[in-house]
């Protein structure tokens, strides 16, 4: 198996950070730097089919957890704390349940252990409609994507994945073909009988509907030690929308 791509900064206790669907490690660069300054060896990781990591036709949370185990072995990490946002949070949950001996603690950002029906179809349709082979600039791609996605912030997040494959040829860092086919797998829950009994913090955005108050019962079933806290003035992108409060709450948990 090919090892996941990462950027490693800082020295201290290992902290692995996992981005969400269609994201990449670079999304966490600023917060990653703050954790490094706070005394952690921060591993900003690209998950398979994302960023600069390998592409594969196979994609589910058991495999994503295995990827993380292989990554830890390759980097000689005995145990690590993990932060995972959205899809990355599902990976972190599955990893902690499958490999508790490798897990120091997990922080799950705005995702619950439950099935989420596919809800990114407009984004997938918009990305698949782009004719990158004829486009000559990011602005051109942004204008085309704007016909499907009106929110400027969402478009900028997605277009961070654009890069010049070669002169005159734009491409995406993520594997759009496979991810378009794996929408059900991305929404899947962790395995029904899985449990992790270590320190666990769920952070939700107060404007987000990804974690609802009645999800706490299911959370506690899988993660008996879990706490649920709320980030103010934030939606699903809570770490980007209120980074100061996210950092404060997450650091208190990681240092605890």
Contacts of 15 (CB under 8 A, 6+ apart): 35, 40, 41, 42, 43, 80, 81, 82, 83, 254
- Give this prediction's pTM: 0.96
Burial per residue of 66-81, b for 16 or more beta-carbon CB atoms within 10 angstroms, e otherwise: bbbeebbeebebeebb
Q: How far is CA 2 from CA 6, 47, 48, 198, in A?
A: 12, 11, 10, 29
* Known catalytic residue at 86: yes
Q: What is the pLDDT along the chain (256 residues), one digit of tens a residue?
A: 689 999 999 999 999 999 999 999 999 999 999 999 999 999 999 999 999 999 999 999 999 999 999 999 999 999 999 999 999 999 999 999 999 999 999 999 999 999 999 888 889 999 999 999 899 888 999 999 999 999 888 899 999 999 999 888 899 999 999 999 999 999 999 989 999 999 999 999 999 999 998 999 999 999 999 999 999 999 999 999 999 999 999 999 999 9
Q: Is 57 exposed, middle or buried (0-12, 13-18, 19+ CB in 10 A)?
A: exposed
- In order of their start, the domains of the chain are 6-115+189-255 (3.40.50.1820), 121-181 (no CATH)
Which one, of 117, 73, 110, lies nearest residue 95 by Cα? 73
Question: What is the Cα–Cα distance from 117 to 183, expressed in whole angstroms?
Answer: 8
234 close to 18: Cβ distance less than 8 angstroms:
no
Which one, of 95, 69, 92, lies nearest residue 3 by Cα? 69
> Considering 6, 25, 53, 86, which one is annotated as catalytic?
86
Q: How many residues can be counted in the chain?
A: 256
Question: What is the Cα–Cα distance from 61 to 75, expressed in whole angstroms?
Answer: 21
Summarize the chain as % helix, strand, coil (round to 5).
40, 20, 40
> Considering 19, 50, 222, 236, which one is annotated as catalytic?
236
């Amino acid at each position: 198996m090919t090892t996941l791509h990462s950027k490693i900064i800082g020295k201290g206790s290992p902290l692995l950070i996992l981005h969400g669907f269609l994201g990449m490690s670079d999304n966490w660069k600023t917060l990653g730097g703050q954790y490094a300054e706070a005394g952690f060896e921060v591993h900003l990781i690209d998950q398979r089919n994302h960023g600069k990591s390998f592409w594969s036709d196979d994609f589910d949370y058991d495999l994503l957890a295995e990827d993380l185990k292989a990554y830890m072995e390759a980097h000689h990490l005995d145990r690590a704390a993990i932060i995972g946002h959205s899809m990355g949070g599902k990976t972190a949950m599955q990893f902690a349940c499958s490999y508790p001996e490798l897990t120091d603690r997990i922080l799950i950002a705005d995702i619950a252990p439950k099935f989420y029906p596919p809800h990114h179809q407009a984004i997938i349709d918009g990305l698949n409609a782009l004719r990158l082979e004829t486009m000559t600039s990011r602005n051109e791609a942004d204008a085309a994507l704007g016909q499907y996605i009106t929110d400027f912030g969402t478009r900028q997040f997605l277009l961070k994945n654009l890069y010049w494959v070669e002169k005159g040829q734009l491409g995406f860092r993520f594997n759009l073909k496979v991810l378009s086919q794996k929408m059900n797998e991305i929404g899947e829950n962790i395995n029904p009988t899985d449990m992790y009994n270590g320190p666990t913090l769920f952070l939700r955005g107060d404007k987000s509907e990804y974690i609802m108050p009645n999800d706490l019962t299911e959370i506690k079933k899988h993660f008996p030690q879990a706490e649920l806290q709320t980030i103010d003035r934030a939606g699903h992108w809570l770490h980007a929308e209120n980074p100061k409060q996210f950092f404060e709450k997450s650091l208190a948990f990681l240092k605890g």
